Amino acid sequence: MTEIVVERPSGTSAAARRMRFAQRFFVAVVGNYVFRRVLFFLFVVWLASTVIFIIPRLSGQDPVKEKLLLEAQRGGHLQSGFEDMARTYQKRFGLDRPIWIQYRNFILDLAQFDLGPSIAFFPRTVNDILMDSLVWTIGLLGTVTILSFVIGTLSGALLGWPRAPGYFKYLFGPLLTLSAIPFYLLALLLVFLFAFRFSIFPLFGGYGIGKVPDFSLDFALQVLRHAILPAMSIILASIGFWALGMRGMMVTMQGSDFMVQAEAKGLKAGRIFLRYALRNALLPQTTALALSLGTVLTGAVLVEVVFRYPGLGNTLYQAIRLSDFFIIRGFVFAVIVSLALATLIVDITYPLLDPRVKYRKG
Amino acid sequence: MTSLTAATAARSSASSEHSLVVEDLRVHYDTPEGVIKAVDGVSLALKPGERLALVGESGSGKSTLAMALMRLTKAPGRIVAGHIYLGGKDITLLEEPEMRQLRLNEIALVPQGAMNSLNPVMRVKHQIIDGILDHVADRKQTPDSHELEERVNRLLARVGLSPEVGRMFPHELSGGMKQRVAMAIAISLSPRVIVADEPTSALDVVVQRQIMQTLGRLQQGLDAAVILIGHDMGLVAQFANRVGVMYAGKLVELGPVQQIFTEPLHPYTKLLIESLPNLEEKKKFIGIPGLPPTLLRLPSGCVFHPRCPSFIKGTCETVAPHYQEVRPERETSCHLYAGVRA
């Protein structure tokens, strides 16, 4: 066998270098950092699941009996086979088994994202119920969170930029005020003004009464019209938060040496603003964004209740009223997963945003 | 007062002969406690290829002067009077967009804290390139990425760095390397004047020497004038042709480096040089008695009189001395030389 030596032109050697880099990247990052992060994520989810398994059992209440008693009260008398009935349901839900078996089944079910049956809406499953409302919440709150992040961060950046047009400083007062008002109060105010006083927008709901959800343009427009007030209440209340944080970071950036040097280099103002000031001030903001995306599910329970929006918050509210432990548990589990997922995403993407943070062992 | 000071000499030949002429420059900070005169009537002139060092204690106005030369004085500071001629053009009168064009092109800064003077989230080469790109006069002449890459590599080579450094982030570089990158940026458009504001602070002695040698080599290659700001007399002695001594916002003495060290004229300069430790003979360490004045309440008359050993009673505390040429190429502001004219 003779060895074939290939003379590479400089173009391919750059490609080869990139390839080698990609390989090293894979080994170093995936082999270590990301893998560890994912393990940690699973650990957190397991721990939290265990906690939500134990806590309801410490309350001493029996959800099946509670539910049956409630029904019996409504019916006006206690049926004779009450104890039998309770036992049958407990058997059906697996609540008669020893606690460790229950725990094992619970974890196994969770691993397959099976959150069990609903008690209040039996025989519908918790998965079914949560999924129905999840779409609404993520659709509304996901969009709203990102929108308010973009608007708030940009206006904050301009507030903290000495060379921004003078009228921007008048934004500061209103933003500060709005950020101090809880969004559910803002929601009430908006409902009163724009739905009750001037009937511009609908009072409540995610779409018109009597409509069946479908994929028509008409329905989409209805959804949009119904979403405007809840969205506005959250956006108005939270852009102040983003703007104030960003403004503070921008002011800090002005004092740093690299900003002076950027000016000494005679760079165009736009480049200094975007690539130097904003880019660096954005780092803490993105962490906050990821974390607030993690709390999207719980973020606006009150707003959903005010607007009777068919989202998770409203479902949770119903579940608590009907003491449907399984739905509550499923909801908490979803919150845990989404928070842990957000943290995981921050951990993994942050080194891409800030080169000083390295993917390193541990 | 019609003696031949740097200012008057400059006015006559501001355009042709000198790269940089500073005329009676005053930079004041308006504070709630009063006006701080950080630079108070400084005049100097630099020829192409000349190396001038400005020395003085902290708070003597060196860095304020450096920032004023770049016209980067930040509020509450402002240039209240005086002129700065850069290649014959008075930059104190320029609009900001015009001034922006001159920065890096005509006058470049090698910053003080090279540790933090690079953008932490940008690769080194992009930080060299963006300065070049933002000074392209005509959009059509924008160099392509290949040409830019080439220019970056050449610049890095000139400051003694390998092309790999271009792909690195600032935090991956040592202090000396960062300072070299800062120098590569400063020379990227072959400026007429380089302002080096304590370029070696925060570096160790060995690296300091290397950096100064590199700066010297670059300056010779460009035939640029350099203003070196610092307080390390040893470093200054090795690097500069001329030395200016600043005290409380004023230039108290200016002259060729050799003469300043062997025969200082101003009492402050004398004390400054006597306070330097000497390797040859073992002697008692001498400091300068007293403290530098607060710039809010400057002493009457000569600002140095409360600490001056050669204090002339009746004159020094009442009359401010004129800054004048007392010998060929030697300028000072001191009553001891009031009658002496070059």
Query: Does residue B235 surpass a pLDDT of 50?
Result: yes
Token representation of residue A144: 């709203």
Residue A361 pLDDT exceeds 70:
no
The residue of chain A with its CA nearest to that of B101 is A266
Using CA atoms, how far apart are residues B235 and B240, in angstroms rounded to an integer?
A: 9
Residues 6+ apart with CB under 8 A from A106: A49, A53
Q: pLDDT > 70: what percent of chain B?
A: 93
Q: What is the pLDDT of residues B255-311, one digit of tens each?
A: 999 999 998 999 999 888 888 877 777 777 777 888 888 888 888 888 888 888 888
Question: Which DSSP category does A256 fall into?
Answer: S
* 3 state SS of A242: helix
Kindly tell me if the per-residue pLDDT of A270 is higher than 50: yes
Minimum Cα–Cα distance from B170: chain A residue: A356
The whole-number pLDDT of residue B70 equals: 93
Contact across the interface for A275 and B130, Cβ inside 8 Å = yes
In our burial notation (b when 16+ CB lie closer than 10 A, e otherwise), range A9-18 reads eeeeeeeeee
Nearest to A264 among B70, B115, B135 (CB): B70
The residues that bridge with B21 in the sheet, in sequence order, are: B45, B85
pLDDT for position A223: 82
Q: Is the torsion defined by CA of B84, B85, B90, B94 positive or negative? A: negative
Chain B residues inside the 8 Å CB shell of A262: 119
Torsion over CA: A224, A228, A231, A236 (sign): positive
Q: What is the DSSP string of A169-211?
A: GGGHHHHHHHHHS-HHHHHHHHIIIIIIISTTS-SSSSS-TT-
Give pLDDT tens digits for A102-131: 888 888 888 888 887 777 777 788 888 888
Say whether pLDDT at B7 is over 70.
Answer: no
* Yes or no, beta carbons of B134 and A275 under 8 Å apart: no
Residue-wise pLDDT for B134-147, tens only, equals: 998 777 778 888 99
Chain B residues inside the 8 Å CB shell of A355? 120-121, 169, 171
- pLDDT value at position A2? 43
Instruction: Please give the backbone phi and psi of residue A355, each rounded to the nearest 5 degrees, phi first.
Output: -65, -15
Please judge whether B102 and A266 are an interchain contact, meaning their C-beta atoms are less than 8 angstroms apart: yes
Contact criterion met (CB < 8 Å) for A266 and B101? yes
For residue A281, give the chain B residue with the closest CA.
Answer: B121
- Asked whether A293 and A145 are in contact (CB, 8 A), the reply is yes
Contact B120 A266 (CB under 8 A): no
What is the mean predicted confidence (pLDDT) over B319-333?
87
The arithmetic mean of pLDDT across residues B54-62, rounded, is 87
pLDDT at A249: 92
Closest CB to B171 among A258, A263, A355: A355
Which of A17, A259, A260 would you mutate first to test chain B, the one with the most B CBs within 10 A?
A: A260
With CB atoms and an 8 Å threshold, state whether B135 touches A266: yes
Q: Do B169 and A258 touch (CB under 8 A)?
A: no
- Return d(Cα B337, Cα B326) in angstroms, integer: 7
The confidence score (pLDDT) of residue A210 equals 67
> What band does B339 get if pLDDT is binned at 50, 70 and 90?
low
Chain B residues touching A267 at Cβ < 8 A: 100, 130-131, 134
In order of A142, A346, A347, B25, the CA distances from A340 in angstroms are 16, 10, 10, 60
Q: Which residue has the higher pLDDT, A212 or A132?
A: A132
Q: Which positions in chain A have a beta carbon within 8 angstroms of at least one beta carbon in chain B?
A: 256-258, 260-268, 271, 275-276, 279-280, 283, 353-356
B182 CB-contact burial (10 Å; exposed 0-12 / middle 13-18 / buried 19+): buried
Count the neighbouring beta carbons within 10 Å of the beta carbon of residue A33. Answer: 18
Could B72 and A264 be called an inter-chain contact, meaning their C-beta atoms sit closer than 8 Å? yes
Q: Which CATH superfamily is domain B6-106+191-337 in?
A: P-loop containing nucleotide triphosphate hydrolases (3.40.50.300)
Reference A156, options A277, A2, A323, A287; nearest CA is A277
CA distance A158 to chain B (A): 19
Q: Which two tokens stand for residue A335?
A: 């919150």
Q: What is the pLDDT of residue A64?
A: 73
Q: Are A347 and A20 in contact (CB under 8 A)?
A: no
**Which domains are seen in chain A, by residue range?**
62-112 (no CATH), 126-353 (1.10.3720.10)
Check pLDDT > 60 for residue B178: yes
* A98 three-state secondary structure: coil
Chain B residue numbers with beta carbons less than 8 Å from the beta carbon of A258 are 116-120
**Who has greater pLDDT, A171 or B52?**
B52
**Measured between CA atoms, how close is A177 to chain B, in angstroms?**
29
Tell me the chain A residues in contact with residue B104 when contact means C-beta distances shorter than 8 Å. Answer: 264-266
Give chain A's mean pLDDT: 81
Mean of all residue pLDDT scores within chain B: 86
In terms of Cβ atoms closer than 10 Å to its own Cβ (0-12, 13-18, 19+), residue B200 is: buried
Q: Which of A261, A356, A359 to mutate: most B Cβ within 10 Å? A: A261
- Signed CA dihedral, B230, B234, B235, B238: sign only: positive
Residue A13 phi/psi, 5-degree rounding, is: -65, -30
pLDDT at A4: 44
Nearest to B121 among A262, A263, A279 (CB): A279
Q: Which residue of B has its CA nearest to A260?
A: B117
Structural contact between residues A300 and A133, judged by C-beta atoms closer than 8 angstroms: no
Tell me the one-letter amino acid at A49.
S
Distance from CA of B116 to the nearest CA of A (A): 6
Nearest to A266 by CA among B179, B153, B178, B94: B94
Where on the phi/psi map is residue B20: left (φ > 0), alpha (ψ -120 to 50), or beta?
A: beta
C-alpha of A42 from chain center? 18
Q: Mark A299-312 as b/e (b = at least 16 C-beta within 10 Å).
A: bbbbbbbbbebbbb
CA A27 to chain B, closest CA, distance in angstroms equals 20
> Residue B13: which pLDDT band, with cuts at 50, 70 and 90?
very low
| pLDDT value at residue B214 | 92
- Residue B163 in this model has a pLDDT that exceeds 90: yes
Q: Closest partner residue to B113 among A257, A283, A355, by Cβ?
A: A257
Q: Which residues of A touch B112 (CB under 8 A)?
A: 257
Tell me the two tokens of residue A155: 């206006």
CA angle B301, B31, B55 (to 5 degrees): 55
pLDDT exceeds 70 at position B42: yes
B311 burial via Cβ count (<10 Å: 0-12, 13-18, 19+): middle
For an interface test with B, the pick among A18, A253, A265 (most B C-beta atoms closer than 10 Å) comes out as A265
Please tell me the predicted confidence (pLDDT) of residue A247.
92
Q: Give A238 to chain B, closest Cα distance, Å.
A: 28
Residue pair B248/B298 in contact (Cβ under 8 Å)? The answer is yes
Q: What is the pLDDT of residue B169?
A: 92
Q: How far is A283 from chain B (nearest CA, A)?
A: 10
Can you read off the two tokens belonging to residue B69? 């030369």
Let me know: does A297 contact B162? Beta carbons within 8 Å: no
With CB atoms and an 8 Å threshold, state whether A276 touches B119.
Answer: yes
Q: In angstroms, how far apart are the furthest CA atoms of chain B?
A: 70
3-state secondary structure of A111: helix
Q: Tell me how many residue pairs between chain A and chain B have CB atoms under 8 A apart.
A: 76
Determine the distance in angstroms separating the CA of A194 from the nearest CA of chain B, rounded to an integer: 45
pLDDT at site B107: 94
- Chain B contact residues (CB < 8 Å to A): 70, 72, 100-105, 108-109, 111-113, 115-122, 130-131, 134-135, 169, 171, 182, 185
Task: Give residue A119's identity as a one-letter amino acid code.
Answer: I
* Count of CB atoms situated within 10 Å of the CB of A200: 11
| Three-class SS of chain B | CCCCCHHHHHHHHCCCCCCEEEEEEEEEEEECCEEEEEEEEEEEEECCCCEEEEECCCCCCHHHHHHHHCCCCCCCEEEEEEEEEECCEEHHHCCHHHHHHHECCCEEEECCCCCCCCCCCCCHHHHHHHHHHCCCCCHHHCCCHHHHHHHHHHHHHHCCCCHHHHHCCHHHCCHHHHHHHHHHHHCCCCCCEEEEECCCCCCCHHHHHHHHHHHHHHHHHHCCEEEEEECCHHHHHHHCCEEEEEECCEEEEEEEHHHHHHCCCCHHHHHHHHCCCCCCCCCCCCCCCCCCCCCCCCCCCCCCHHHCCCCCCCCCCCCCCCCEEEECCEEECCHHHCCCCC
Quick one: how many helices (H) and strands (E) in chain A? 17, 0
Contact A264 B135 (CB under 8 A): no
Residue A296 is classified by DSSP as: H
Do residues B27 and B38 lie in contact, with contact meaning Cβ atoms separated by under 8 Å? yes
User: Residues A25-44: what's their mean pLDDT?
Assistant: 76
**Residues from chain A contacting residue B181 (CB–CB below 8 Å):** none
Dump pLDDT digits (tens) for A240-255: 889 999 999 999 888 8
Express each pLDDT in A286-343 by its tens digit. Answer: 888 888 888 777 766 777 888 888 888 888 888 888 777 788 888 888 888 888 888 8
Q: Which regions of chain B carry the CATH code 3.40.50.300?
A: 6-106+191-337
Q: How far away is chain A from the Cα of B96, in angstroms, using its nearest Cα?
A: 10
CB-CB: which of A258, A268, A279 is closest to B117? A258
- A175-211: pLDDT as tens digits: 888 888 888 888 888 888 888 888 777 777 777 666 6
CB atoms within 10 A of CB B112: 23
Residue A25 confidence (pLDDT)? 66
The residue of chain A nearest to residue B71, with distances taken between CA atoms, is: A264
Which range, of A271-280, B91-100, B138-147, averages the lowest pLDDT? B138-147
- Give chain A's largest Cα–Cα span: 96
CB-count burial class (<10 Å; 0-12, 13-18, 19+) for B280 = exposed
Judging contacts by C-beta atoms under 8 Å, the chain B residues touching residue A354 are 120-121
Tokens representing residue A74 in the block? 């409504």
Predicted local confidence at residue A56, as pLDDT: 74
B16 or B197, which is more confident? Answer: B197
Q: What are phi and psi of B107, to 5 degrees?
A: -135, 125
pLDDT number for residue A31? 60
